[in-house]
Amino acid sequence: MLQNPTILVGKWYVNHARMIAREVLGGNEATVIFNTYHLDTGNSSGIPSECGKEDFIQWADHEATPSELTRLQMYNPRLSQSSKRASSFTVQNWREN
């Protein structure tokens, strides 16, 4: 579970038990839209998925570290372009007051 419930567009989050990283593409106060990648291969699940914000917070162990992102990019060079593109997204802070 994420210690900080703020989910940012363009960031990556990891679940170690499932060996999965998710790249956040968008969402709103209730939902998160993301791409899923396997940490051990860099393979994508194919199409974006959507889940509830609270489910995503429970699923994620932490924001991806630089070494986890580098490993994914090593397996899947196309992710380098995705990471560069992600930095231009508008960051949305969904923390509830």
- State how far the Cα of 74 lies from the Cα of 20, in Å rounded to an integer: 15
- Please check whether residue 6 lies inside any domain of the structure: no
1-44: pLDDT as tens digits: 998 888 999 999 999 999 999 999 999 989 999 999 999 998 99
49-79: pLDDT as tens digits: 999 999 999 999 999 999 999 888 888 877 7
**SS3 assignment, position 91:** coil
Provide the pLDDT for residue 81: 52
Model pTM greater than 0.85?
no
Determine the structural domain holding residue 54 and report its residue range: 12-86
The answer, yes or no, to whether residue 86 has pLDDT greater than 90, is no
Q: How many domains does the chain have?
A: 1
Question: What are 84's two structure tokens?
Answer: 């560069």
- Please check whether residue 93 lies inside any domain of the structure: no
The answer, yes or no, to whether residue 97 has pLDDT greater than 70, is no
Please report which confidence band the pLDDT of residue 82 belongs to, taking 50, 70 and 90 as the band edges: low
- State how far the Cα of 68 lies from the Cα of 11, in Å rounded to an integer: 12
Provide the pLDDT for residue 8: 92
- Please check whether residue 82 lies inside any domain of the structure: yes
- CA-closest candidate to residue 10, choices 29, 25, 30, 27: 25
- Please check whether residue 29 lies inside any domain of the structure: yes
- Please check whether residue 67 lies inside any domain of the structure: yes
Provide the pLDDT for residue 19: 94
